[in-house]
Structure 1
């Protein structure tokens, strides 16, 4: 069967397709916002309950250790301090994975700076970030989308591109925001148009951007490497 010519589609069918696409985009945006809110709430609960309790236990253990004189007891107390310290750090990393508080309290620039610095240290890569000079505030939905784009780009650079250097660049020309994650890895075998973003992570990014009136593109870098770019229309915070 021959596919219908897109230029000769029935107007009513075109209207129905447009309405259906708009409804699906709205639904996806709602689901992602709900997902983000749940992650934020869970991270806050971990901070306020588990994190606070572990910190308090560490302080109490320190006070109890001051009254110990037995060498074995002191050694056991130190082991417990070390164990509690590991739990506190793990809890912090889980919180950060779920939701970056710096995004909410200090803005996207602080969140990106922390993300890129910790990524480079953890994986032994040269990870650099370039940010606008102005300290403009952006809506939370835009900040979340930009941060998720950075996370996806860094993950892909590590897992697929086998890169040694990654640059995360945020540009703001007053009309639109553009976040680019560029690496020096193996690159793409051929150009990747937007509709070829079949990885679930990239597809979610595309839907996030689309819900905000923006777009996502994956392309090759001249000289080798890959660039993941998200463009969003500029909106006041």
Structure 2
């Protein structure tokens, strides 16, 4: 009956404190009782996400049995998550390809190896507490599967601490809130609610909205800052659009100039090739005939031998001029097509440098645009020259695949390979062959990948769309 002797103010205060305490205690009991179920569900959900991520990222590595990259993937995943205890990556033949146990695999962990074709979750006790073992198959188990062990210890400790902090904070805040008047709350919350609405409108992209709050205090200054921020965003957006437009125009101009430069280069090659074939070759042929006639009318054997020797030298020069004319612009590229031109060039290149070059084609051969054919032919030329100059390879394979929407070319050798440092050094030494290849491919909206070949050397993969508009051209 002590409450009846208190004033109304303290009665309301006591009632408020009692309700706050009761609500806090009830909230704590509800949260605590549902803790186990929440932890398990969230932990298993996170485990499935992690295992699925590892399965998607490591599928190709499992197929190639790339243990190093599989270990790196598993180790990085474990390092980024405190509640992941271990990760096992197993192929379809139940062979363990990678794991994250530093002291060796615990005994019995792989004792039971069923054929999982869908994800499976099991819980078992360990000396570290409950472990949620989650299995996610890779390609429905055809490639293998990933096992992720999730421990509850870290999550439980963290949530325990957070629950204690939250409950304590709730009690303190609610106790303090009893002493606040409704009028002060209204004066504070109404301007903030308006600012929140303005912020949401700005987030949705409405940069014209403004906060109309007439206040000289902190809330008023915050409203002015919001309005200035919106104006700055409008100006920044306009400036960005201008810069993007200028960048697109410059990029389009650059691509057009490079395309015209390459076209002019090929036209010049054609012209020089034609002049070498038509004029220089004819002049050398006439010189050979003249020297032969002079040799037949020579007054003595010594002069005849000298003239015949000169004719042989001219014949050698003629062959070299014809070879140079063909390399500048092979007639087969215009007359017989891309594959025939590459085949003839690779045969001569193999004989000249003692290489074993294997050319293979796949798919239905279709008409190839002239610019695509020239680009692929020049890339093959540059690649073979790089093989001779830098790789030390003895065999080269060239695979050309025709698909309805693209042409794919793969050039692989068994040389010493190429590293990132080699690419940096080549750029410093202005040996820009690879960068020239990439520029040609990008102008045709294709892609060029440099990777290690199955023979241990370098592999270039080029894919160019056949019928899409090229970069820098209007569709």
TM-score by length of 2: 0.44
- Give the counterpart of 1:30 among 260, 279, 294: 260
CA 131–53 in structure 1, closer or farther in 2 if over 3 Å, else same: farther
Unaligned segments of structure 1, at least 5 residues: 1-7
Paired residue for 1:116, among 338, 346, 351?
A: 346
RMSD: 2.9
Pair 1:204 & 2:402 matched: no
**Residues paired across the two proteins, number:** 228
- Which of 40-49 and 123-132 deviates more? 123-132
Residue-by-residue CA offset, 1:128-159 (whole Å, 9 max, x unaligned): 22235755332211111011110111011111
- Could you say which residue in structure 2 is the equivalent of 1:57? 287
1:175 aligned onto 2:411: no
* Cα distance in 2 for residues equivalent to 1:175 and 1:147: 19
**CA 1:206–1:66: 2 relative to 1, 3 Å:** same
List per-residue Cα deviations over 1:98-147 (Å, max 9, x = no partner).
22222122221221011101111111111222235755332211111011
| CA distance in 1 between partners of 2:398 and 2:376 (Å) | 11
Counterpart of 2:68 in structure 1 is none
What is the Cα deviation at residue 23 of structure 1? 2.4
- Counterparts in 2 of 1:157-172, with a 5 A limit? 157-172=387-402
8 Å Cα contact 1:177/1:233 also seen in 2: yes
Equivalent-residue separation in structure 2 for 1:16 and 1:156 (angstroms): 37
Task: Give distance in 2, aligned partners of 1:46 and 1:81.
Answer: 19
Which one has the largest radius of gyration?
A: 2
Q: Partner of 1:170: helix, strand, or coil?
A: strand
Alpha-carbon distance in 1 for matches of 2:433, 2:261: 15
Which segment is superposed worse, 122-131 or 29-38? 122-131
**d(CA) in 2 for partners of 1:122 and 1:230?**
26
Q: Deviations over 1:215-235 (max 9, x none)?
A: 222111134011112211124
Find 1:44's aligned residue among 274, 278, 286: 274
Farther-moved stretch of structure 1 (16-25 vs 179-188): 16-25
TM-score normalised per structure 1: 0.84
1:70 positional shift:
3.7
2:454 pairs with 222, 227, 231, which one?
Answer: 222
Do the aligned residues in 2 keep the contact of 1:29 with 1:207 (CA within 8 Å)? no
Relative contact order (C-alpha < 8 Å, sep 6+): which is higher?
1
Superposition map of 1:90-109 within 5 A = 90-109=320-339
1:65-144 equivalence runs, <5 A: 65-67=295-297, 70-132=300-362, 134=364, 136-144=366-374
Alignment match, 1:232: 464
Gaps of 5+ in 2: 1-236, 469-475
- Pair 1:130–1:192, CA change in 2 (3 A): farther
1:217 to 1:192, Cα distance in 2 relative to 1, 3 A: farther
- 1:3 corresponds to: none
